[in-house]
Chains A and B, each alone.
Chain A
Amino acid sequence: MTVVKRDPQRDLADLIDTISERALFARLETVRLISIAKTGHYASGFSCAEILATLYYGVMRLRRGEPDWPERDRFLFGKGHAAATLYPLLADWGFFDPRELDEYTRLGNAFGDHPDMTRIPGIDFSSGSLGHALSTGTGIALGTRMRGYDSNVFVLLGDGELHEGQIWEAALGAAHHQVSNLIAIVDRNDHSLDGRIDTVTGIEPLEDKWRAFGWQAHRVDGHDVAALLALLRSVVADTARTSPVVIIADTVKGKGISYMEAEFGWHLGWLAEQDERNAIEELRRGR
């Protein structure tokens, strides 16, 4: 019998490659799904592709093909409008047949622009109406803890979503109840529908705000897979933490496609055929 000696550095580099490749896959699938629907949220999905891929392939405790495993970690998509970027990853985990996505948004299909927990295996809570997910996530984190599981609950929030008052109710409540298995990630892509966040309603200084609410706060480049992975893994490994944790992930809205990065109007859109081919080219090249 040959024993293969594993090289942790090599393994980590492979994992980072895998995550980056899965982020690209999620972007390409987003383009494909929006092509079926003929309208959708490219830019919001692209800004969080590395965050989603890092969570699903490098951080979360999941069981392949078992979306309801009670001891799993949970993921809640506060900015549910970017669901098209998440669905391909759930299919990849064997939670449903990826071919189901071929009928994305068609009449009666389970897969719409916002995720529906009652119809899509692997969606831990429905979302779409902004501001709810930090509360529902608090409930799930409390509930799993009271059941005796050590599940972590990850909630991805949009930065525009932080305008919602319920976010701050949840921030107070989760800190008060020391819901330390709740980890919020803010996709800080600096834009909401009407423009740059600071021209709509300013939200900085964000880390100070969360810390003042009793949270542990970190900031990271949301497209740097190695940095995201290291930070998320260190948070998860810190089992002595007593407060909820927030990670402000600085991202670029429309990341990966030059004209989407430059123009906030791509919050909602549809690329016509030739543009779509160019977009796929750009994504593949990694610009």
Chain B
Amino acid sequence: MSIAPGLQPESWHLLTLLDRAPGLHALADTLADLVDEGHPILAGTADLKYSNGLVRFQERHPDHYVQFGISEQHMVSTAAGLATTGWQPHVATFASFLALLACEQIRTDVAYTRLPVRLIGHHAGITLGYYGTSHHATEDLAITRSIAGLTVIAPADAAQLRSALRAATDWPGPIYFRIGRGQDPDVYDHDDRGFTIGRAIEHSTGSDLTIIATGSMVHPALSAAAVLEAEGISTGVLDMHTVKPLDADAVSRAAARSGVILTVEEHSVLGGLGGAVAEVVAGHGHGARVVRHGLRDEYALVGPPTHLYRHYGLDTDGIVHAARTALG
């Protein structure tokens, strides 16, 4: 592999991934804890229990675990059937295969029926870097966001994932959880008890610029804000963990106090967080500009994820650069 100077190669095979993926431990361990606490949770996957860590759940609760094999559509529809009998199924697979391959099953069997199924799309965005376009999920937010009645949550780190899974236990309808490869750096240093579905976390407010980020982009957005602040640019950061229902009030407040809103997502700029925020700002006025930062109308290159983040400006430097450009 030829790599750019200063970049380290990544050893990154799926079967060795788990040891270095606290975010995936958070998924399996939280679900297993919830079973211990009496929640009617089932967990299943489509031949990816090592990739998403559910092997740890299976060890603790084999009777609450279902292996579906490589049949994502069947898995989603079966989860819907299970939900009609009082269970709360959590089914997990790569985000690309969940949101794209099983899109119609999600829409018709899970969302239209308003069943409490939890769809866990992991390795979202470009976290499966050199596996190529088939494994990249850069459309999943746009797809799931347009499905009526489906809640869409993209936690920023392991702690927030734990909080989100817990908050979801009494959420009545279906939820799509968008998570990465479980290796996002910590944003929150403990279980984030203040987590509320649909309410953004306001890290800071700024009069020049507000960065609204979701999922894996919250951490670099915070770092970028620190750099910008040091340059004298008044910068706010919103963690928009719930992409739908979007916290329109938080967006509106940000638009009222900042001239520019920069949305940052590990996703296409078409129809994801940026689209959602732009829809709110267009509706509420306030005269703010919305600049959407993410992948353009393109398929991501092949490469190790951190290299791709640098290439597409989805790291601290890239976000700082996008902010400066947005501010003119």
Contact = CB atoms under 8 A, between A and B. Distances in A.
Interface of A: 70, 117-118, 124-126, 128-129, 131-132, 135-144, 146-147, 165-166, 169-170, 172-173, 176-177
Nearest to B89: A139
Given A118-B113, A136-B80, A142 B74 contact: no
A147 B85 contact: yes
A52 B198 CA distance: 45
Interface of B: 42, 63, 66, 68-69, 71, 73-74, 76-87, 89, 104-105, 108-109, 112-114
A125 B78 CA distance: 11
A277 B118 CA distance: 51
Contacts of A146: 42, 63, 85, 87
A107 B82 CA distance: 31
A138 B42 CA distance: 15
A142 B84 contact: no
B108 A125 contact: no
Nearest to B108: A129
Contact of A173 (B74, B84, B105, B109): B74
Contacts, number: 100
A146 B109 CA distance: 21
B86 A173 contact: no
19 contacts: A70-B86, A118-B113, A124-B84, A132-B77, A135-B74, A135-B78, A136-B77, A136-B78, A138-B74, A139-B77, A139-B79, A139-B81, A142-B81, A143-B83, A143-B87, A144-B85, A165-B73, A169-B71, A170-B78
A117 B111 CA distance: 12
Given A118-B113, A172-B69, A140 B85 contact: yes
A70 B84 CA distance: 10
Given A129-B104, A166-B74, A142 B82 contact: yes
A170 B81 contact: no
Contacts of A165: 73
A144 B87 CA distance: 10
A142 B78 contact: yes
B243 to A, nearest CB: 24
Nearest to B63: A146
B85 A143 contact: yes
B71 to A, nearest CB: 4
A135 B113 contact: no
A128 B113 CA distance: 13
A144 to B, nearest CB: 5
A279 to B, nearest CB: 33
Contacts of A128: 108
B278 to A, nearest CB: 32
A132 B86 contact: no
Contacts of B66: 142, 177
A75 to B, nearest CB: 13
Given A132-B77, A132-B109, A166-B74, A173 B68 contact: yes
A118 B114 contact: yes
A173 B77 contact: no
Contacts of A172: 69, 71
Given A146-B87, A147-B86, A173-B68, A138 B81 contact: yes
B81 A136 contact: yes
Contact of B81 (A70, A129, A137, A147): A137
Given A132-B105, A132-B108, A139 B71 contact: no
A139 B113 contact: no
B116 to A, nearest CB: 13
A136 B109 contact: yes
Nearest to A166: B73
B74 A169 contact: yes
Contact of B113 (A117, A137, A169, A176): A117
Given A125-B113, A143-B86, A166-B77, 11 more contacts: A117-B84, A118-B114, A126-B109, A135-B73, A135-B78, A138-B74, A139-B78, A142-B78, A144-B85, A169-B73, A176-B69
A34 to B, nearest CB: 24
Closest 8 CB pairs of A and B: A139-B81, A143-B85, A135-B77, A169-B74, A169-B71, A139-B78, A136-B81, A139-B82
A128 B105 CA distance: 12
Given A125-B113, A126-B112, A140 B69 contact: no
A70 B80 CA distance: 16
A80 B42 CA distance: 28
A173 B69 contact: yes
Name which of A126, A135, A138, A177 has the most chain B CB atoms within 10 A of its CB: A135
Contacts of B76: 135
A136 B112 CA distance: 14
A129 B63 CA distance: 31
B82 A140 contact: yes
B108 A126 contact: yes
A170 B78 CA distance: 9
Contacts of A173: 68-69, 71, 74, 78
Given A129-B108, A143-B81, A170 B86 contact: no
A53 B104 CA distance: 31
A27 to B, nearest CB: 28
Given A125-B113, A126-B112, A129-B108, A139 B80 contact: yes
A143 B73 contact: no
A138 B78 contact: yes
Contacts of A124: 84
